[in-house]
Structure 1
Amino acid sequence: MAKRGENIYKRKDGRWEGRYIKERKTDGKIRYGYIYSRKYLEVKHKLMLLKADSLRDTAFQSYYAGTLTEWLEVWLDTIAKPKVKLSTYNSYKSKVQLHITPTIGNIRLHELVPADINQWILQLSLTLSPSSVHAVHRVLKTALTQAERQDLLKKNPTLNIDLPKLEKQRVRAFSIEQQKKIKEAARKDERYLPIILALETGMRIGEISALRWTDIDFSEKTIHIKRTLQRLQVDKGKTAIIEGTPKTFQSERILPLSKQLEAYLSKIKQTSESLYVVGLAESCTEPRTITYRFKKLLDQLQIAQLPFHALRHTFATRCLELSVNIATISSMLGHTSTKMTLDVYTNSFMKDERQAIEKISTL
């Protein structure tokens, strides 16, 4: 069975066969070339490149006549997927399907111009926050940069586009009083151990889910962050718990273990039957279970709902209030740079700024 409008056929042996014009003989007859693969998209991608090579001396517009949607399908499954984490791939795919292909997907790749991108950005801005618009634009920019590299596109139309101004998001953290209340309640039930870990180390929820007893060195009093855990889509309508490497290279780090936390973890380890610090038997406790329990505890304590990630912000905020230097905080959080830490926690410096103002006023 052939794909309509393409020289791609499904063979009886299960493989896909792609046909392209290799050359024309002196008598005008066409000599075809063939490529084969078990995957349709691989054949389609190779055909794009071969057709582009055969048209190098003709007008550029003839290079690739496919639509943006067709190119994005190829880019996602043959270029992006093998190179990025599953979570990143899923994020790319979601943005493509929700925010790119429904509006500009039918435009032919070589006909896409900055005016189309500008109009698309305006449409996105009506329903998405500035940060989300930037994120979707980055995905399209990356995909079209690859098309340009492969000579399927003369110039990337997403460059030099006016994007909505980003507004600094205020970090939401718990107050000292709320923190004490949460911590006191969490210590009464081992199911709330993830809350204690987040408040005392700043670990991410996925890092807590993936933490094993072998990652804790009680003699050296350290915690080694080596992996993270997420529930991700692996197929249509199917999800699975995936254990992978931390978010970035800097996220793989070693954290000091306080005496108080060391004693608490040692006590739990004595009765634990799991490989995981937070888990039962051979299984771990996934992030959504941890999130559900956290929400339930906040309800019981009558504290306004904030996401579990707010515990990480609370840890960083307390560090800043205690005048811990920014490089140390950045390292403990596993940020890629101190600039990132400064950008995220700008609002947390109000106490220091107030002290500076008071000192200046007394001169």
Structure 2
Amino acid sequence: MAKRGENIYKRKDGRWEGRYIKERKMDGKIRYGYIYSRKYLEVKHKLMLLKADSLRDPEFQSTYTGTLTEWFEVWLDTIVKTRVKLSTYNSYKSKVQLHILPRIGAIRLTELLPTDIDQWILQLSLSLSPSSVHAVHRVLKNGLAQAVRQNLLKKNPALNIDLPKLEKQKVRAFSVAQQKKIKAAAIADEKYLPIILALETGMRIGEISALQWGDIDFTEKTIHIQRTLQRLQVDSGKTALIEGTPKTFQSERTLPLSNQLETYLIEIKQSSKSSYVVGIADSCTEPRTITYRFKNLLEQLQITQLPFHALRHTFATRCLELGVNIATISSMLGHTSTKMTLDVYTNSFMKDERQAIEKISTI
């Protein structure tokens, strides 16, 4: 039989066979159960459910001998997948498949030691940035924490691990001169409306793609951000546009509409045939199209290439320069806390800090 996945084999009759531990006898011998299907994914899904059920059995928990690969497959597909957004699940799965299983996946779950994780961290640090190492370690720690909750482990070996020191990332934003140049070019062509929205409101690209005319209250002069759009990988391995709720609870927010932006949007709405603010017919313009257009505009204007997200940073930076208080900026950006805003935009306070130093020196 040709093997395709963990305990899944291709039979000579063309069917896929999945094997799982059905019973562990007192003498230590194992009795296996089997499931069959013409479809590999169907066998894999059923196998995951059976493994998950067996992990709830106290007798099985005390004798669990599965590897990290076996445990993380169960954890991802039967626990993580049912509790988080698809984007978060895809992020977890990618980190598990790319950075965890290839290096330590063959180790038995109950035999994983902190020293194994220390060595793994050192290996990761050779190819990943400190922030990426922290992110991957966080996924490992969460997966092992679930194993502790299900009594498969007595203690989480990923706790109290020395991680590389995080370096504060410098926010990259456009200068005032660059911003004026970009805005002047964007406002002349309706297809660049996403750029105007990002510069004027600090909205994320997915929020802009999902924005509908019904989300804008021209009477109250507000924009209600209540959905986001992302292209994500689905079960078939292909990608699809997925519309969902904003990134966090705080990301669902109401923003004020400036007089200038209101006038511009009313003008566009008069000729719009879509329910989406940035769209054609009744379909939206997806993030990758917006990104492509933005990149081309920067090339035309001969401005240094920065990602579309830099427009959001530019909005926040201008707010700081104009003296807007940090709580207001945090609220408009939809950050989970003012601390997060402060951590991201620390470098933008240098001007204020310099003025403070000059004032103190005169005392």
Tell me the amino acid that sits aligned with residue 313 of structure 1.
Answer: H
**Per-residue CA shift, 1:160-181, capped at 9, x if unaligned?**
0000000000000000000000
Q: How does 1:300-319 map to 2 (within 5 A)?
A: 300-319=300-319
Structure 2 counterparts to residues 187-336 of structure 1, below 5 A: 187-336=187-336
Within 5 Å, give how 1:107-186 maps onto structure 2. 107-186=107-186
Hey, what's the Cα distance between the residues in 2 that align with 1:234 and 1:281? 26
Query: Aligned equivalents of 1:230 and 1:203: distance in 2?
Result: 14
Residue in 1 that maps onto 2:59? 54
Alignment partners' CA distance in 2, 1:15 and 1:113: 33
Gaps of 5+ in 2: 36-42
Q: TM-score normalized by structure 2?
A: 0.90
**Cα distance in 2 for residues equivalent to 1:322 and 1:93:** 42
Letter in 2 for 1:248: T
* SS of 1:49 mapped into structure 2: coil
Q: Report the equivalent of 2:22.
A: 20
- For residues 194-247 of structure 1, give each alpha carbon's deviation from its aligned partner in whole angstroms, at most 9, with x where no partner exists: 000000000000000000000000000000000000000003441000000000
The 5-angstrom pairing of residues 28-39 of structure 1 reads 39=46
Task: Sort the Cα spacing of 1:174 and 1:19 in 2 relative to 1 into closer, same or farther, 3 A.
Answer: closer
How many corresponding residue pairs? 350
Name the SS of the counterpart of 2:72 in structure 1.
helix
**Aligned partner of residue 240 in structure 1, secondary structure:** strand
1:341 alignment counterpart: 341
Determine helix, strand or coil for the equivalent of 1:235.
coil
Amino acid at match of 1:114: P
Scaled by the length of structure 1, what TM-score is found? 0.90
> Aligned partners of 1:231, 1:5: CA distance in 2, in Å?
29
2:39 is matched with: none
The Cα of 1:343 is off from its aligned counterpart by 0.4
Q: Which amino acid aligns with 1:54?
A: E
Instruction: Tell me the CA shift for residue 48 of structure 1.
Output: 3.1
Overall identity of the aligned pairs, in %: 74
Q: Given that residues 55 and 150 in structure 2 are in contact (C-alpha distance below 8 angstroms), is that contact kept between their aligned partners in structure 1?
A: no
Distance 1:242 1:323 in 2: 37
Give the aligned residue type for 1:41: M
Offset of residue 354 of structure 1: 1.1
Deviations 1:239-282 (CA, angstroms, capped at 9, x unpaired): 00000000000000000000000000000000000010000011
Looking at structure 2, the residues matched to 164 and 345 of structure 1 have their Cα atoms a distance apart, in angstroms, of 22
Matched, 1:43 2:50: yes
Q: Helix, strand or coil for the counterpart of 2:317?
A: helix
Unmatched 5+ stretches in structure 1: none
CA distance in structure 2 between the partners assigned to 1:270 and 1:78 by the alignment: 48
SS in 1 for 2:55: helix
Q: Which deviates further from its counterpart, 314-323 or 233-242?
A: 233-242
Check conservation: 1:15, 1:39, Cα contact below 8 A: no
CA distance in 2, matches of 1:68, 1:223: 46
Q: Which digits, 9 at most, give the CA deviation of each residue in 1:78-126, with x for residues without a partner?
A: 0000100000000001001110000000001011000000000000000
User: 1:228 and 1:5, CA in 2 relative to 1: closer, same or farther beyond 3 A?
Assistant: closer
Alpha-carbon distance in 2 for matches of 1:5, 1:258: 57
SS of the residue corresponding to residue 127 of structure 1 reads coil
Q: Is the 8 A contact 1:17 1:43 kept in 2?
A: no
| Runs of at least 4 residues off by over 4 Å | 3-8, 14-19, 30-38
Q: CA deviation at 1:45?
A: 1.8
Distance 1:86 1:176, change over 3 A: same
SS at match of 1:121: helix
Partner of 1:75: 75
Contact map agreement 1:226 1:245 (CA 8 A) in 2: yes
1:65 paired to 2:70: no
Contact map agreement 1:16 1:43 (CA 8 A) in 2? no
Contact kept, 8 Å, 2:211 with 2:225, in 1: the verdict is yes
Secondary structure at 2:170's aligned position in 1? coil
Q: 1:15 to 1:43 in 2, by over 3 A?
A: farther
- Whether the aligned pair in 2 keeps the contact of 1:7 and 1:19 (CA below 8 Å) is no
TM-aligned CA deviation for residue 311 of structure 1: 0.3
SS at match of 2:83: coil
Cα separation, partners in 2 of 1:332 and 1:17, compared to 1, 3 Å? same
- Separation of aligned partners in 1, 2:19 and 2:122: 41
Asked if the contact 1:210–1:229 (Cα under 8 Å) also holds between the matched residues in 2, the reply is yes
Q: In the alignment, is the contact (CA less than 8 A) between 2:7 and 2:18 conserved in 1?
A: no
**Equivalent residue number for residue 93 of structure 1:** 93
Conserved in 2, the CA contact under 8 Å of 1:130 and 1:167?
A: yes
1:263-309: CA deviation from partner (whole Å, max 9, x where unpaired): 00000000000010000011100000000000000000000000000
Q: Are the counterparts in 2 of residues 68 and 108 from structure 1 also a CA contact under 8 Å?
A: yes
CA apart distance, 1:362: 1.3
